[in-house]
Amino acid sequence: MLAALTVLLAAPGTSAAPPDAGLLAPGRSLGGIALGASRAEVVASWGRAFGRCRFCPIETLYFNRFAFRPEGAAVELGQDRVVAVFTLWAPPGWRTTDGLRIDEPLARLEATYRPLRRSACRGYDAYVLPGSGARSVVYVLDGRVWGFALLGRGHAVCL
């Protein structure tokens, strides 16, 4: 997630806009995008102003509020369908349905969701939220909520 941010390309915009704020509905959607959504559905929601990762093993589209600035969201596509959706860096304005916001302390995450399963990633931690449906993940960097993800079956929690 962090390393791939350097490979963005700008594309012309449309009336839809990349998300500057979004909602993680655990197990269901992130920023209004659900796993299994088509590329056309993503573009209809977030617009055509996206960059593509040139070196990612799976097609990855980056939707940034401002070209070449890392805050925003991304989707990974497998067979033209969303297999993962996640925030990039720590975009302000994003929250969960339970009110957990980007940049809140880890203690707030732990008080809001239990039990949590923690995975140590390179330079940050991933906390998998309890529940059924798609795996919902909260990323923590230096003790603060850094981002969110909704991941399909078999997708590693460390991006």
Calpha distance 12→159 (Å, rounded): 27
Q: Is 90 exposed, middle or buried (CB count within 10 Å of its CB: 0-12, 13-18, 19+)? A: middle
For 4-18, 38-52, 96-110, which range has the lowest pLDDT when averaged over its residues? 4-18
Calpha distance 126→136 (Å, rounded): 10
Calpha distance 99→118 (Å, rounded): 20
Calpha distance 17→81 (Å, rounded): 20
pLDDT at 18: 66
Calpha distance 73→87 (Å, rounded): 4
Fold classification of 3-151 (topology level): protein yfey like fold (2.60.460)
Q: Is the distance from CB of 99 to CB of 73 less than 8 angstroms?
A: no
52 vs 132, residue with greater confidence: 52
pLDDT, average across residues 16-22: 76
Number of residues assigned to the chain: 159
Q: Is the distance from CB of 128 to CB of 136 less than 8 angstroms?
A: yes
pLDDT at 2: 36
Write out the two tokens for 50.
Answer: 């996206």
Domain range summary for the chain, segments of one domain joined by + = 3-151
Given the DSSP bridges, would you call strands 144-151 and 51-52 parallel, antiparallel or unpaired?
Answer: unpaired
Which pTM value belongs to this model?
0.87
Q: Which residue from 38, 51, 48 is spatially nearest to 9, judged by alpha carbons?
A: 51
Residue 125, pLDDT above cutoff 50: yes
